[in-house]
Amino acid sequence: MESLGLRAVGSHCSLSEMDDLDLNRALLDRPRLKIERKRSFDERSMSELSRHDSPRGRSVLDTPLSSARNSFEPHPMMAEAWEALRRSMVFFRGLPVGTLAAVDNTTDEVLNYDQVFVRDFVPSALAFLMNGESDIVKHFLLKTLQLQDSEKRVDRFKLGKGVMPASFKVSHDPIRETDHLVADFGETAIGRVAPVDSGFWWIILLRAYTKSTGDLTLSETPECQKGMKLILSLCLAEGFDTFPTLLCADGCSMIDRRMGVYGYPIEIQALFYMALRCALSMLKPDGDGRECIEKITKRLHALTFHMRNYFWLDYQQLNDIYRYKTEEYSHTAVNKFNVMPDSIPDWVFDFMPLRGGYFVGNVGPAHMDFRWFALGNCVSIMSSLATPDQSMAIMDLLEHRWDELVGEMPLKICYPCLEGHEWRIVTGCDPKNTRWSYHNGGSWPVLLWQLTAACIKTGRPQIARRAVDLIESRLHRDCWPEYYDGKLGRYVGKQARKYQTWSIAGYLVAKMLLEDPSHIGMISLEEDKLMKPVIKRSASWPQL
């Protein structure tokens, strides 16, 4: 461990201090907790080993020998990854405040990859927290909070107070010898896209920091309390909405270009849900905090119901939609959103296994985007937006459709890609998002950490180990690219940066999670037992 420059620290999960809705605080003291949790993960994975043979007959016991044998030995790639991660660190007046999106010396086309992106910093932050280095995370949270307070405009339009930046950079004045921060809230971003996910990631990271360090003093400061409330006031305001999901513009999250990811995209809904629950565990019930807590609780209730019922797709559900009647009026409607069965794309019928399911990409009036999105589904598992059965089904699908979703490089950002006429109309002829490239079905190594977290949460670490093996066979050799192209993810992406920081950090987080599964507490939430089980959609109207 020493030679890798790692500090041998375990998880600092301080579950007893601030917690999710349903954990039994009194029973848990820290050291015992770690042992008990580890044991339960191991037990679950052992029982999974005997239970889950993939439908294609590929047993999970087929995990390549290397990973089975060496899974707890540090891989030489880890030392390289730590070095590369440290090279990406950004300092403000001597203090570490984040990591650059990429440190690629092979290209002059820097664009904004020399900035600290909020979403990109999350895996870096988790890696640092898991390694016992919490300072950089604390400074990042505080600096971005200060930036939230600044005035933000796009031309003459003033943006909402709660908006968190997409990214920021530290600019150094060599004459005055001072640093100052310059943020981007979308006003200089390509396409002027709004970073809706930034605020959610900020809240999720604040909880991860608190959970990992046990330091309640940060989240309890009036500044952090206010920051959370400002973010949430943007999403909890009353309006014309008829759905509890959050209505969004295209390109407002990881997929920050036109890709038909607008309306009610799964990634935002899952992050919204997770941020609401994280905020609930940190908000103080004083003054306007109480009101905010009440709003969150009500929204969570409605959001959970909506997502678990209307976004869920499995074989049975697909068959039901296929047989839907349309133009139904009144409360008795079964096809509430008037989805046209003819809009179901052909590929779904072949893709859907008998066992397995997933949250679809989007649901709105006469609109169901049947594409599978990795981030939304993994975050749904981590946050317990998915019920335990749904979580298992998502993992079943992943195992069953391994070639399509994982292929030779984990993990497809979405499946399938858009081609031809559809690509022209939906992306606006975007040459970066051609089929099986970048956001359009490209393979993103960063998603490994979310996949691994989902695997550990569902007690199926062997799936993550298979994915880690694939990454270890190439990522370092290819200089840590941002993304891969092709149906199987075989080719380094057309315009992929090298030494992309979140590809590096994502790998480290995945490895550390596998090594010590108790780290999962930082980025997962237990099921909210207050939520009623999923009921049939036709029964959702109150029966009097």
User: How many other C-beta atoms can be found within 10 angstroms of the C-beta atom of residue 41?
Assistant: 18
**Which one, 120 or 369, has the nearer CB to ligand GLC?**
120
**Which one, 19 or 114, has the nearer CB to ligand GLC?**
114
**Which one, 423 or 502, has the nearer CB to ligand GLC?**
502
Q: Give the span between the Cα atoms of 536 and 513, in whole angstroms.
A: 36
CA distances from 283 to 216, 289, 390 (A): 11, 6, 29
Q: Point out which span in 112-120, 344-352, 367-375, 407-415 binds ligand GLC (CB under 6 A).
A: 112-120
Question: How many angstroms from the chain centroid is the CA of residue 125?
Answer: 14
Is there binding between residue 444 and ligand GLC (CB under 6 A)?
A: no
Instruction: Tell me how far, at minimum, the Cβ of 98 lies from ligand GLC, in Å.
Output: 12
**Which one, 292 or 414, has the nearer CB to ligand GLC?**
414
Instruction: Tell me how far, at minimum, the Cβ of 101 lies from ligand GLC, in Å.
Output: 4
Q: Could you tell me if 528 and 300 are in contact, meaning their C-beta atoms sit under 8 angstroms apart?
A: yes
CA atoms within 13 A on the CB side of 19: 17
Per-residue burial over 200-223, b if 16 or more Cβ lie within 10 Å, else e, is bbbbbbbbbbbbbbebeebbeeee
**Which one, 163 or 300, has the nearer CB to ligand GLC?**
163
Give, as ranges, the residues between 175 and 204 that touch ligand GLC (CB under 6 A): none
Q: Point out which span in 45-53, 117-125, 298-306, 458-466 binds ligand GLC (CB under 6 A).
A: 117-125
Is there binding between residue 396 and ligand GLC (CB under 6 A)?
A: no
Q: Give the span between the Cα atoms of 438 and 236, in whole angstroms.
A: 32
Q: Give the residue among 95, 196, 184, 192 at the shortest CA–CA distance from 141.
A: 95
**Which one, 254 or 296, has the nearer CB to ligand GLC?**
254
DSSP letters for 274-302:
HHHHHHHHH---STHHHHHHHHHHHHHHH
Q: Give the residue among 379, 377, 340, 343 at the shortest CA–CA distance from 357.
A: 377
Instruction: Tell me how far, at minimum, the Cβ of 120 lies from ligand GLC, in Å.
Output: 5
Compute the CA torsion angle 83, 72, 206, 246 (nearest 10 deg).
Answer: 110
Angle between helices 196-213 and 222-236 (to 10 degrees): 140
What are 183-192's contacts with CB under 8 Å, separation 24+?
183/147, 183/150, 183/152, 184/112, 184/115, 185/152, 185/159, 186/154, 186/159, 187/152, 187/153, 187/154, 187/159, 188/112, 189/112, 189/256, 190/111, 190/256, 190/257, 191/251, 191/256, 191/257, 191/258, 192/154
Q: Give the span between the Cα atoms of 186 and 319, in whole angstroms.
A: 41
Give, as ranges, the residues between 217 and 276 that touch ligand GLC (CB under 6 A): 254, 256
Q: Point out which span in 114-122, 200-208, 312-320, 347-355 binds ligand GLC (CB under 6 A).
A: 114-122
Q: Give the span between the Cα atoms of 390 and 383, in whole angstroms.
A: 12
Instruction: Tell me how far, at minimum, the Cβ of 428 lies from ligand GLC, in Å.
Output: 16
Instruction: Tell me how far, at minimum, the Cβ of 296 lies from ligand GLC, in Å.
Output: 27
**Which one, 254 or 283, has the nearer CB to ligand GLC?**
254
Using DSSP's 3-state secondary structure scheme, residue 183 falls into strand
**Which one, 120 or 485, has the nearer CB to ligand GLC?**
120
Instruction: Tell me how far, at minimum, the Cβ of 528 lies from ligand GLC, in Å.
Output: 29
Q: Which of 119, 277, 465, 519 binds ligand GLC (CB under 6 A)?
A: 119
Residue closest to ligand GLC (Cβ)? 101
Question: How many angstroms from the chain centroid is the CA of residue 63?
Answer: 26
**Which one, 112 or 338, has the nearer CB to ligand GLC?**
112
**Which one, 33 or 102, has the nearer CB to ligand GLC?**
102
Looking at 307-417, list the stretches that DSSP marks H as alpha helix, in order from N- to C-terminal side.
315-322, 346-351, 374-382, 388-400, 402-405
Instruction: Tell me how far, at minimum, the Cβ of 427 lies from ligand GLC, in Å.
Output: 13
Instruction: Tell me how far, at minimum, the Cβ of 430 lies from ligand GLC, in Å.
Output: 12
Instruction: Tell me how far, at minimum, the Cβ of 195 lies from ligand GLC, in Å.
Output: 9
* Binding-site size, ligand GLC (CB under 6 A): 6
Instruction: Tell me how far, at minimum, the Cβ of 415 lies from ligand GLC, in Å.
Output: 17
Q: Which of 20, 104, 120, 472 binds ligand GLC (CB under 6 A)?
A: 120
Instruction: Tell me how far, at minimum, the Cβ of 256 lies from ligand GLC, in Å.
Output: 5
Q: Point out which span in 3-11, 90-98, 116-124, 273-281 binds ligand GLC (CB under 6 A).
A: 116-124
Structure tokens at 166: 């997409």
φ, ψ at 109 (rounded to 5°): -80, 85
Q: Which of 41, 82, 92, 117 binds ligand GLC (CB under 6 A)?
A: 117
Instruction: Tell me how far, at minimum, the Cβ of 119 lies from ligand GLC, in Å.
Output: 5
Q: Point out which span in 63-71, 115-123, 134-142, 358-366 binds ligand GLC (CB under 6 A).
A: 115-123
**Which one, 312 or 444, has the nearer CB to ligand GLC?**
444
Is there binding between residue 101 and ligand GLC (CB under 6 A)?
A: yes
φ, ψ at 99 (rounded to 5°): -130, 145
**Which one, 198 or 518, has the nearer CB to ligand GLC?**
198
Which residues are near ligand GLC by CB under 6 A? 101, 117, 119-120, 254, 256
